[in-house]
Structure 1
Amino acid sequence: MANQGASNDSVENRAGEPQTPITEHEPDLDSETVCDGLNVKTVMGAKTEFDNNEFPTVPELEVGSSLGKYEIRQLLGTGGMGAVYLAFDPMIEREVAVKVLPPEIASRPQALDRFLTEAKATGKLNNQHVVAIYDIGVQDNLNYIVMEVIRGGSVLDLMEQSGSLPWEDACRIVADAADGLEAAHAAGLVHRDIKPENLMLTEGRVVKVVDFGLAKLVDAANHTRTAVTKAGQVMGTPQFMSPEQFSGANIDHRSDIYSLGGTLFQLLTGQFPFDNCPTIVQLMYAHLEQPVPDPNELNGNLPAGCRDVIARAMAKEPQERYQDAAEMARDLRSLDHRQSEPTSGTKPERIIEEWRTLESVCIIEPSKIQALMLRDALAKSGISSIRVHDRAAEATSDPSLVPDVVVTSMHVPDLSGVDMIKKLRTDQRLQQSMLVLNSSDSTVDELIDAGKTGALALVSKKTKPDDILRAVHACTFLNAPKMSFDVPIDPLSLRVLIVGDGDQIPYSMAELIRSVGLLDVEITTLVDLGTEKGPVGKFDLAILLRTAGDATGDTKLYAGRLLRVSEAKTIEVKATAAVQVDGHQMTLRALSCRSFTAVTRCLLDDIRLTRILQITL
């Protein structure tokens, strides 16, 4: 088809804008305007154009009308393959997304085949990282697919908010997408249009591969009716297309791996691969002939492993790439902070956890009854060395003794408990020990002022000895040999509240929730907490998130946030944790429950979160 109407010979290189996929055409390396069987004229990366009499009519469904059994509630968006509506399934009582194909497109065999291929092929997949297809139908000449509603936006939306992503988040997103593609490839399905726009996020930050509208069933390639595309037809989005897609050659699942490598490049750098190519001819030549770009040249804070994964995924020859998506996912998940090679700025502080056995405790308590009760309870936990003193001077008389935990009363004859903690904190050997102030008339701020670093806990005189161990268990790297409360949790029975700065939580927190298996999770903001817009009811745990900033060292800030939860009249919470978020790393900074308040600095991972949940049992 000749060049008709307005044309554009430049490639849109703004990483923040959705890219229009090329549809079917006979490859012409000398032409910068391409078209498909629908007379759609498009330039690589530019917006699709139609003649006025050729533009597909968006199926107009009125709000409140029905399509099959589904009640239409809202138009969510439109595209070259139709419109997507928010609808309600009255039988199951859930909201769904309904994708409707325009009648004039449905009348074209290739377009209808492509639409049905997407529905049938994707519907056969059962993977948490692929959008779920619930139903397919036709009514009044309208073909439609019913699928799950994904409310967290696309990865492209995420990039528009922050530009490039932290490398940890980028690698996790792409690794999860690779898991979804592995399931599709195992079913003989090649996506052919992998890009950030087609990776969606749920509200819990679960990655979903969507839009299989350009998908190809490999095992159908020899069937005239079911082979939606064949060699000589070019489909995809040019910034992420594989060399074999540009050349119009036969493709297989390794083409998706190439596109996934290009997607990772954009997430890490905020730019497309070969971003400096202004025309389609230059872009095509770059993907076919030029070396794979190095993301470290644009972002100096990446592990070398990121460069290696992209180089292998985007190799020119399919046989030189990852041979399956699962292998790429494994390599991405194997990257760690020790591989980081920052070339500019300050490397974020990383916490290295070394779990060790709780072997020694020093008790400073003038009350003999209180001291004996505490000693006996700790002895039952298997702690081998327990020293009891009624004066501070005795406790510090032997400098060779370095206890794992020090429990001191506020009222000691020769030194107050706060002053005792202040003195102990000057000993560098005790930086990894937990200091516990046993007092009913002291404040957390006093405790923080006394000990600027390390793990500190404030417990009341009425606190049971087991609760002191709970604080140690949840807030340090120490393991007591025997703990009655160290029992498996039932994640299905626990209700958790996440309090953040917005209505979405960091990807790392979503991954943590999923790894522990928590299902009853509610998300709110600090602003809405305690208001009519905020949550209501009882929660086992509230987690307050704060993105790392200038005040990350202010322990009082995190301890103060705990009060916001206790002051909220609309909720009742057993335990509250204040967490610092720094890219992929999350750090527990403060924790409170009915029996203690503690400040600390330790990694929040699945083990730590499980320990915190154990104190609510």
Structure 2
Amino acid sequence: MQTLGRYRIEALLGEGAMAEVYRAHDPDIGRAVAIKVLKPDFARDADLEARFLREARAAGALSHQNIATIYDAGQAQGIAYIAMELVEGQPLDALLDAQGRLPYERVLSIGRQLADALAYAHRAGIVHRDVKPSNILVSPDGRQVKLVDFGVARLGEGDAGQLGRTHAGQLVGTPRYMSPEQALGLPVDHRADLFSLGVVLYEMMTGKVAFPGTGLATIAIQIAQERVEPVGRIVGDCPPGLSFIIDKLLAKKPEARFQDGGALVAALDREIGHAQEAEPARRGIPLRIKLPLALAAVTALALGGSIASILDRQERALNRMAVVSGETIASFVTSNAAVLAADNAGLPAAEQDWAPLQAFVAAAARDANVREIVVADAGGTVRAATDPVRVGTRYAAPGGEGTFGHGATQAADQGRGPGIRFVRPIDYAGIEFGRVDLVLKRTALDGAVAQARTLLAVLAAVVMLAVLGVGYLSGALVARPLRRLRGALAEAAENGFALRISHRRRDEFGAAFDAFNRTAEAMETRLSAAPALPAPDLAATRIAAARAA
């Protein structure tokens, strides 16, 4: 067959139980399409051919990013055909054959897309009834999937009692991915597609088929009666939430599954969102901000008090050191001044020679630590000074400017910098000959105190930054699991505990999550009061399987 109607056939892409699919070219709009035609044995059945076209036209109304678009359906050259979107990529079954299993992140992404596609089709009243890996095409980049082949799909309304079979008495759908309703030949609805999707998700997550039987009868019995091996026993990296979703989809009773694709999408979105954990809007200050601020405030108070105490003690210690050093210098100046002053004692004023004392004061003033020296005689006349102008003037005793102890007082700046003043009597052989007024510079002392303040301030800043960082991270570590637990509790109130919290934590929050999951499982069991499916008739199951063969 070279052409079919206006389509130019290029190659056979694949074939299923009822139809063959060809790659073709549509010259009218210049694009490649996939052409699906019934196999000759089925094409001779007029009723089946009419239903094939009717259902294709119904599915043609679907327009969804994860559903292959049907462009045209009709008859040409006596052959019924469906022209649909040619999806580049590979079938999911080929991908699973190559990789064995997929990471749970990809399972969530693919599952979410397929759930959204089915939810859309179900809202339009169309049930696929043959969801399986070979009908799921994965794009070359692996990011997008498309559900194809609604060829056995049927409008949900009408024919309700015969949805499980074709008119020829065959089971509709690939046996390994059928729902229990299909396997038992019971009426089915959109929840059968959700079961089939659960089988697909199970296979993607574990790399194994859910129902490993080798014969149709065996597979049908497994689907109708046997529970699948839990995902957690096969792989260790499946989040509990995803494992719960798969288990719920594989429930034997339709009433125990997700009741529509929208609920499944919401559950998958919740699992996907756990990896992103967007911060919800809230009132008040978030815990991740409140905790570091509280820690910083407490740390600031502790540091402030400690630093103030340290600086006070250090300044006192430095002052004592300065006073001791000043006492030594003052004693040296006073003892030398006493000797020189004693030489003039008892001499008439005209014969007194104070030049040696002035020379000594000038020499002592060369010390970098000395700011000022004044030597006055017993009569209060200045006889030597670092400022020669003051020699011969009356000595005025300085006023109290704060004491450092040991007779040392604080000297006013007077434009020459702060200092420490020592006033000592000139005492020689028990006789007082005057006094020495010595001022030492505080430059080194104040520099040491300023350096200590700077270093402590830097240390305090580093500690505060560390506390803020640790507090923020601690708040985030605490806020995230609390937010998940709060969200799970909120959703449990709406969904009847039909969810689980996925985690890998080994701390107290992990124990809390596990406790929630156990509680949710127990509550869901108690809240589930749906009637059970009729007990499967093994004879009927075997008969149905035999007909399928």
| Relative contact order, higher structure (CA 8 A, sep 6+) | 2
Q: Normalising by structure 1, report the TM-score.
A: 0.44
Larger radius of gyration: 2
Please state which structure has a larger fraction of its residues in helix. 2
More strand by share: 1
